[in-house]
């Protein structure tokens, strides 16, 4: 290996990449448990298919557009010099790790970001149209925004906005894209009339646990080295997530008089989202403060959809857009060197606000336009009768559970034969 290669750093980044990859199946379970039983497979697949689509596009041009040298020097998009991973070998380094290790790690971010959007349009999107949406969205939204934020030539990077692991590029980006898509697709059949309760809260808890586990790779891995920064990011991720869960549960107890498993899982995810941009910039008490604020504010934001009348099926806007905004802005307050609590003045807060709001506006507008184009061409929403019947049977010719067998076993258990041994 060439001079500068570090086996420990490389191992750390590869393991972190694997952890982030696990987050997408974790997200599938988290979302899958929250939908009704007739569309659980479709919900799982809407996350899972991103692993296939984005992996291919990342090799073709995504990595080069995101992390290639800036095209034209304007900080907008990378060039195509590394399209197809041209010129990259196992010995090509970036810092102390191979470029392939870095590219694999960043690929996992690109995969999960569009998958996050899917929860907002659960139960009502054509699967083929969704696959097209992913392919175009990562091309015109994710790759440019990630370039702005993380590549040294990107305009947000040069502005001095701090985003360690994706508050803007991942969470605000996905949350606002979700808002744009759901506004085009409209409300589910029976919204506010029919019960739309989660079909499997154990799935939700499993998914949130996998997300929490994988998030250590997401945040600590963004140090790109096994060092002190990674340790700080890891620790702050844990304490902020715990604080956010407690904040959400407190909100539930005050507002509804109950603690719920769905609230605990949602609060944990809100904390993970909020600490993502700030995990290496704040101390432990700052992380706890960010977590508590995120838990409370995201719980409040989720309730807004009923008052405002938009159908965000699985609260992507309230958790990811709002949680990402909370974490990104609070860097300007709790950053240990440039935050208000450090006596540094409001300059960093203004920078954070500019970065966050620009990404939010760009993602919302472009995602809404993309969804509209798909809707008027090939159609984005399933027919009403398919939605009522259930997407799993109509679109995938499958069901998550064999109800015939389940009903037969129930009859056997409750029938006369079940009492012969008593």
Q: Mean pLDDT score of the chain, rounded to an integer? A: 94
Q: How far is CA 401 from CA 41, 100, 269, in A?
A: 10, 40, 27
Please name the residues in contact with 346: beta carbons below 8 A apart, sequence gap of 6 or more.
332, 340
User: What's the mean pLDDT in 285-295?
Assistant: 98
pLDDT band at 422 (very low <50, low <70, confident <90, very high): very low
Q: Which pLDDT does position 403 carry in this prediction?
A: 64
Report d(CA 124, CA 210) in Å as an integer.
26
Question: Which band of pLDDT confidence, cut at 50, 70 and 90, is reported for residue 414?
Answer: low
How many Å apart are CA 348 and CA 339, to the nearest integer?
7
222 pLDDT higher than 70: yes
Q: Which of 161, 363, 163 is nearest to 274 (CA)?
A: 163
Residue 4 clears pLDDT 80, i.e. is over it: yes
Query: Which phi and psi angles does 306 have, rounded to 5°?
Result: -70, -40
Q: Mean pLDDT over residues 212-232, rounded?
A: 98
With CA atoms as reference, report the closest residue to 179 among 380, 375, 360: 360
Higher pLDDT, 215 or 409: 215
Judged by average pLDDT, the poorest of 110-114, 255-259, 361-365 is 255-259
The predicted-structure confidence for 149-190, as pLDDT tens digits, reads as follows 999 999 999 999 999 999 999 999 999 999 999 999 999 999
- Report d(CA 324, CA 272) in Å as an integer: 9
Q: What angle do CA 321, 323, 327 make, to 5 degrees?
A: 120
Task: Please tell me the predicted confidence (pLDDT) of residue 1.
Answer: 72
pLDDT given at position 340:
97
Q: Where in 267-378 does DSSP place strands (E)? A: none
Whole-number pLDDT of residue 419: 44
Four-point Cα dihedral 190, 191, 193, 199, nearest 10 = 90
Report which DSSP code applies to 419.
G
In this model, does residue 420 exceed pLDDT 50? no
Which residue do the tokens 């099926």 mark? 313
pLDDT band at residue 352, thresholds of 50, 70 and 90? very high
Between 305 and 206, the more confident residue is 206
| Structural element, H or E, at residue 97 | strand 97-98
Residues 85, 75: contact at Cβ < 8 Å?
A: no
Beta strands in 134-230 (DSSP E): none
Q: What angle do CA 398, 25, 267 make, to 5 degrees?
A: 115
* pLDDT tens string 188-212: 999 888 889 999 999 999 999 999 9
Percent of the chain's residues with pLDDT above 90? 91
**What is the number of helices (H) and of strands (E) in the chain?**
19, 2
Whole-number pLDDT of residue 2: 81
What is the mean pLDDT of the segment spanning 383-407? 84
Separation between Cα atoms, residue 415 and residue 338, nearest integer Å: 70
Q: CA nearest 156: which of 278, 74, 65?
A: 74
Mean pLDDT of 101-118: 98
Q: For the residues 28-32, what does the mean pLDDT come to?
A: 98
Q: What would the two tokens of residue 384 be?
A: 């009403």
Count of residues for the chain?
Answer: 422
What are 301's two structure tokens?
Answer: 């934001």
Facing residues of 97 across strands?
94
Q: What is the mean pLDDT of residues 368-382?
A: 98
pLDDT band (50, 70, 90) for residue 310: very high
Q: Indicate the angle between helix axes 347-377 and 173-185, nearest 10 degrees.
A: 30
Q: Which helix (H) or strand (E) holds 93?
A: strand 93-94
Q: Which stretch of 8-22, 160-174, 305-319, 389-403 has the lowest confidence by average pLDDT? A: 389-403
Alpha-carbon span 387 to 299, nearest angstrom: 28
Q: Is the pLDDT of residue 303 over 80?
A: yes
pLDDT at 418 over 50: no
The DSSP secondary-structure symbol of 221 reads G
What pLDDT is attached to residue 42?
97
Residue 417 has pLDDT above 90, yes or no: no
Chain position carrying tokens 């998914």: 207
**What average pLDDT does range 378-393 have in this prediction?**
94
Distance CA 90, CA 125 (A): 41
Give the pLDDT score at 277.
98
Q: What pLDDT does residue 412 have?
A: 55
Which residues make beta-bridge pairs with 70?
78
pLDDT beyond 70 at 38 = yes
């Amino acid at each position: 290996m060439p001079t500068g290669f570090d086996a420990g750093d490389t191992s750390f980044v590869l393991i972190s990449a694997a952890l982030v990859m696990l987050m997408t199946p974790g997200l599938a379970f988290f979302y899958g448990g929250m939908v009704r039983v007739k569309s659980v497979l479709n919900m799982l697949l809407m996350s899972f298919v991103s692993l296939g689509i984005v992996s291919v596009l990342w090799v073709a041009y995504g990595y080069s557009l995101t992390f290639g040298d800036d095209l034209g020097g304007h900080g907008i998009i990378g060039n195509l010099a590394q399209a197809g991973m041209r010129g990259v070998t196992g010995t090509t380094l970036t810092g102390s790790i191979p470029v392939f290790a870095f590219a694999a790690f960043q690929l996992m971010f690109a995969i999960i970001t569009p998958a996050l959007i899917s929860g907002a349009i659960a139960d009502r999107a054509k699967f083929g149209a969704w696959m097209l949406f992913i392919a175009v969205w990562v091309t015109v939204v994710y790759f440019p925004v990630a370039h702005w934020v993380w590549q040294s030539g990107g305009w947000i990077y040069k502005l001095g906005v701090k985003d360690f692991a994706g508050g803007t590029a991942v969470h605000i980006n996905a949350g606002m894209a979700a808002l744009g898509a759901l506004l085009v697709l409209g409300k589910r059949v029976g919204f506010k009339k029919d019960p739309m309760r989660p079909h499997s809260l154990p799935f939700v808890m499993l998914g949130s646990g996998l997300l929490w586990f994988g998030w250590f790779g997401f945040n600590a891995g963004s140090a790109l080295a096994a060092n002190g920064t990674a340790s700080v990011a890891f620790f702050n991720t844990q304490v902020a997530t715990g604080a956010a869960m407690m904040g959400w549960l407190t909100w539930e107890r005050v507002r509804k008089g109950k603690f719920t498993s769905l609230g605990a899982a949602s609060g944990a995810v809100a904390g993970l989202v909020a600490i993502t941009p700030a995990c290496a910039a704040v101390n432990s008490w700052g992380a706890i403060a960010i977590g508590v604020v995120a838990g409370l504010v995201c719980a409040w934001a989720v309730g807004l959809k009923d008052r405002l009348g938009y159908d965000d099926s699985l609260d992507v806007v309230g958790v990811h857009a709002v949680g990402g905004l909370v974490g990104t802005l609070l860097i300007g307050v709790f950053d240990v060197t440039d935050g208000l609590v450090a006596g540094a003045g409001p300059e960093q807060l203004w920078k954070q606000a500019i970065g966050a709001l620009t990404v939010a506006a760009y993602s919302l507008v472009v995602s809404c336009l993309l969804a509209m184009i798909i809707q008027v061409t090939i159609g984005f929403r399933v027919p009403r009768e398919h939605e009522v019947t259930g997407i799993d049977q109509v679109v995938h010719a499958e069901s998550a559970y064999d109800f015939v067998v389940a009903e037969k076993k129930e009859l056997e258990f409750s029938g006369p034969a079940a009492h012969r041994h008593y």
